[in-house]
Amino acid sequence: MTLNVAVVGSGPAGFYTADALLKAEDPQVAVDVIDRLPTPWGLVRLGVAPDHENIKAVSRAFEKTAARSGFRFFGNVEVGSTVSHEELLAIYDAVVYTVGAQTDRRLGVPGEDLPGSWPATAFVAWYNGHPDFQGLDFDLDCERVVVIGNGNVAIDCARMLALTEAELAPTDTIDEAADAIAASPVREILMLGRRGPVQAAFTPPELKERGELAGAEPVVASADLELDAASRAELEADRERAHRNFDLLHEYAAREPAGKPRKIILRFLVSPVAILGEERVEAVEIVRNELVVEGGRIVARPTGETETIPCGLVLRSVGYQGVALPGVPFDERRGVIPNSGGRVDGAERTYAAGWIKRGPSGVIGTNKKDATETVELLLADARDGKLARVDSTQSLEALLAAKGAAYVEYAGWQAIDAVERAAGEPRGRPRVKLAAWDELLRAGRPN
Ligand code: NAP
């Protein structure tokens, strides 16, 4: 008998999970992938920077998964509102949550919610055409932007703000964002890392790109590259990321100014203590940190030496954060579904993979191994008879029809994809995204 599994979330973790399930032989599996959006691919469509078309190409592998027999897509279906976890358990033998991390981590400093202070996650969703983030008032009419955080999302945001009109033109950035970035008078994009250059979370290829932009140049102060003993030891131990980053930073610090219109300045060992302004963001107050070893980890400790940096926009890029799903266990502190290798603790026939399983870390490919681990446990449970066979007369499509809920099938996504690609073609762009809910649903539900 075929096992019926629902995979909730159609980003990389969802597609790697679906792929591993659909390839299984004992038992054979049919997979319904459910997403609250009418479009699949999650952060590959709506998170990966538009100028990283090569990274987005992973969606071709996901298309192959979608072409396998036993695969179905249900877009525009939100678990928690359209259908409940209990309803899914009544229809499917097992449910796998691959919903990612839906919101941002908070900084916890005064002024964080002033107009002009945004989570980087919202900025990313906006320029990528996420339908929940359109029409936001990202006012780029300022000379200095401060990006808080030293991860790849911070790097992406800083680079996007620095792209020229010609660099933006061949990408699928939404028009509103591309126009605002090209027209912005911004001259300085300042990235603030709370720890040192050795501890930066960004990766060498992303840092290298920073030195290759047409209209912006990287600026690093040599003094920021002086290392304490613990950081020197950490640098020696990490020949890959930290060492290559450090070499690049040295190269940037040694460069003569090229006079490009925008500068991306990297500063280290500073933390925001407050975001200042009357009606909206006017400045960020930062404190200088020193590094200390605590519990075997190098952490930042404030020195008390502060500085105020005027700016017009703040992007807080200190990590994503998982969100609880109604009826599904949740670890508030870690922002994940509590699980053991992907089996959800304290919930029957329920599994997790990707960021909602392990937290928001790693690159797209990391989710393949992660999903495989979960699927192996799920299949073992099925073989052990732990997944109670459910009443096969029930179906998701019947439940959705009874609720009057309009869903988008995979063919509907293919229709959206075709419309977007056709709109991009004459403009030399991979696609022009449909970014409004009504446009997406119109294109995705042709009948
Ligand atoms: P991340 O890699 O975890 O980086 C978060 C950054 O925020 C770290 O530098 C962290 O510093 C800093 N931070 C945390 N709390 C802070 C605070 N209170 N004050 C100041 N700084 C703080 O997260 P991310 O950039 O959101 O990226 C998420 C994942 O997606 C990562 O695995 C990333 O590599 C991946 N990603 C990859 C790409 C790509 O491959 N091109 C692009 C985008 C994202 P500490 O280290 O001191 O905690």
Q: Is the pLDDT of residue 126 over 90?
A: yes
Task: Name the residue at shortest CA distance from atom 38 of ligand 1.
Answer: 152
Is the CB of residue 90 below 6 angstroms from any atom belonging to ligand 1?
no
Per-residue confidence (pLDDT) for residue 239, from 0 to 100: 84
231, 252 contact by CB (below 8 A): no
Is the CB of residue 124 below 6 angstroms from any atom belonging to ligand 1?
no
What's the whole-number mean pLDDT along residues 265-278?
A: 98
Give me ligand 1 centre to Cα 413, in Å.
Answer: 31
Give me ligand 1 centre to Cα 192, in Å.
Answer: 12
Task: Name the residue at shortest CA distance from atom 23 of ligand 1.
Answer: 319
In this prediction, residue 418 has a pLDDT band, given cuts at 50, 70 and 90, of very high
Q: Is the pLDDT of residue 17 over 70?
A: yes
The torsion angles phi and psi of 88, rounded to 5 degrees, stand at: -65, -40
Is the CB of residue 75 below 6 angstroms from any atom belonging to ligand 1?
no
In this prediction, residue 165 has a pLDDT band, given cuts at 50, 70 and 90, of very high
**Beta bridge mates, 275:** 284
Task: Name the residue at shortest CA distance from atom 26 of ligand 1.
Answer: 319
For domain 105-319, give its CATH number from 3.50.50.60, 3.10.450.50, 3.30.70.1150, 2.40.30.10.
3.50.50.60
Give me ligand 1 centre to Cα 153, in Å.
Answer: 6
Is the CB of residue 123 below 6 angstroms from any atom belonging to ligand 1?
no
Is the CB of residue 319 below 6 angstroms from any atom belonging to ligand 1?
yes
Give me ligand 1 centre to Cα 282, in Å.
Answer: 25
From-to residues of CATH 3.40.50.720 in the chain: 3-102+322-407
The string over 349-362, giving b where at least 16 C-beta atoms fall within 10 Å of a residue's C-beta and e elsewhere, is bbbbbbbbbbbbee
Is the CB of residue 318 below 6 angstroms from any atom belonging to ligand 1?
yes
Is the CB of residue 107 below 6 angstroms from any atom belonging to ligand 1?
yes
Is the CB of residue 303 below 6 angstroms from any atom belonging to ligand 1?
no
Give me ligand 1 centre to Cα 30, in Å.
Answer: 36
Task: Name the residue at shortest CA distance from atom 18 of ligand 1.
Answer: 107
pLDDT averaged over every residue in the chain: 96
Give me ligand 1 centre to Cα 406, in Å.
Answer: 37
Q: Is the pLDDT of residue 147 over 90?
A: yes
Per-residue confidence (pLDDT) for residue 88, from 0 to 100: 96
What's the whole-number mean pLDDT along residues 140-158?
A: 98
CATH topology of domain 3-102+322-407: Rossmann fold (3.40.50)
Roughly what angle, to the nearest 10 degrees, separates helices 241-254 and 229-237?
A: 120
443, 416 contact by CB (below 8 A): yes
SS3 134: coil
Give me ligand 1 centre to Cα 119, in Å.
Answer: 13
Per-residue confidence (pLDDT) for residue 394, from 0 to 100: 86
Is the CB of residue 154 below 6 angstroms from any atom belonging to ligand 1?
yes
What's the whole-number mean pLDDT along residues 390-400?
A: 86
4: tokens are 């019926």
In this prediction, residue 432 has a pLDDT band, given cuts at 50, 70 and 90, of very high
Query: Picking from 123-127, 255-259, 341-345, 390-394, which range would have the lowest pLDDT averaged per residue?
Result: 390-394
Q: Is the pLDDT of residue 390 over 90?
A: no
Q: Is the pLDDT of residue 327 over 80?
A: yes
Task: Give the model confidence (pLDDT) of 341-353 as tens digits.
Answer: 999 999 999 999 9
Per-residue confidence (pLDDT) for residue 447, from 0 to 100: 65
Q: Please, is 63 exposed, middle or buried when counting C-beta atoms within 10 Å of its C-beta (0-12, 13-18, 19+)?
A: middle
Is the CB of residue 156 below 6 angstroms from any atom belonging to ligand 1?
yes
Q: Is the pLDDT of residue 410 over 90?
A: yes
**Beta bridge mates, 189:** 145, 264
Closest C-alpha among 143, 274, 156 to residue 206: 156
From-to residues of CATH 3.50.50.60 in the chain: 105-319
Is the CB of residue 362 below 6 angstroms from any atom belonging to ligand 1?
yes
Residue 20 or residue 390, greater confidence: 20
Give me ligand 1 centre to Cα 423, in Å.
Answer: 34
Mutation choice for ligand 1 from 117, 127, 150, CB with most ligand atoms inside 8 A: 150
Task: Give the model confidence (pLDDT) of 204-233 as tens digits.
Answer: 999 999 999 999 999 999 999 999 999 999
Rg (CA), the chain: 23
Give me ligand 1 centre to Cα 201, in Å.
Answer: 6
Q: How far apart are CA 268 and CA 242, in angstroms?
A: 14
Q: Is the pLDDT of residue 391 over 80?
A: no
The string over 188-200, giving b where at least 16 C-beta atoms fall within 10 Å of a residue's C-beta and e elsewhere, is bbbbbbbbbbbbb
SS3 76: coil
Q: Quick one: which atom of ligand 1 is closest to the CA of 205?
A: 41
Per-residue confidence (pLDDT) for residue 393, from 0 to 100: 79
Task: Name the residue at shortest CA distance from atom 29 of ligand 1.
Answer: 361
What's the whole-number mean pLDDT along residues 248-260?
A: 96
